[in-house]
Amino acid sequence: MRKQRKLLIEQLDRKLQFFKGAEGLVIPDKAWINTIRISLNMTLEQLGNKLSISKQGVKGIEDSEAAGTITIKSLKEVGHALDMKFVYGFVPIDGSIEALIERKSKALATKIILRTNHNMVLENQGIANEQIEKAIEELTYEIKSTVKKNIWD
């Protein structure tokens, strides 16, 4: 199971590599549809004809995209009408899914080890910082290897 999960993570990371750099992309003030339509020197009516809707309908689509309420289905339809392909994806903040899992696993391991050590200190059985770091590292590896569901809590 661990090998299968590791393979899935590696495959997902490879797929998401195509979106690297996209996080720096600045969305135009009036969003993409309006900007592309204007750049192509296409009227609302012309785009409406391609979508089989009124120019007011196109304006509504442009407004909903700018407001962030447009559907993926609508974006795909507009992309097709503009002879473009609509794509979307996610860019991991940590750079990769594997790095995200590593960070979350280490946070959970740190929480567990420090809580356990705190209880041990209260009983005069605390461990040295060096041992704490080693324990965190080992527990991080264990949590990461199995991708425990509680890393998302």
Are 103 and 61 members of one domain?
no
Does 146 reside within a domain? yes
Contact 98, 106 (CB under 8 A): no
Q: What is the pTM of this model?
A: 0.75
The stretch 60-70 carries a mean pLDDT of 98
Q: d(Cα 90, Cα 85) in Å, to the nearest integer?
A: 17
Are 74 and 27 members of one domain?
yes
Q: What is the pLDDT of residues 102-145, one digit of tens each?
A: 999 999 999 999 888 776 655 556 567 788 899 999 999 999 88
Q: d(Cα 31, Cα 52) in Å, to the nearest integer?
A: 21
Return the residue matching tokens 């995200």: 100
Q: What is the pLDDT of residues 88-99, one digit of tens each?
A: 999 899 999 999
Give the total number of structural domains in the chain.
2
Are 111 and 141 members of one domain?
yes
35: containing domain: 21-81
Which pair of structure tokens corresponds to residue 62?
């442009």
38 has a pLDDT exceeding 90: yes
Does 41 reside within a domain? yes
Are 71 and 103 members of one domain?
no
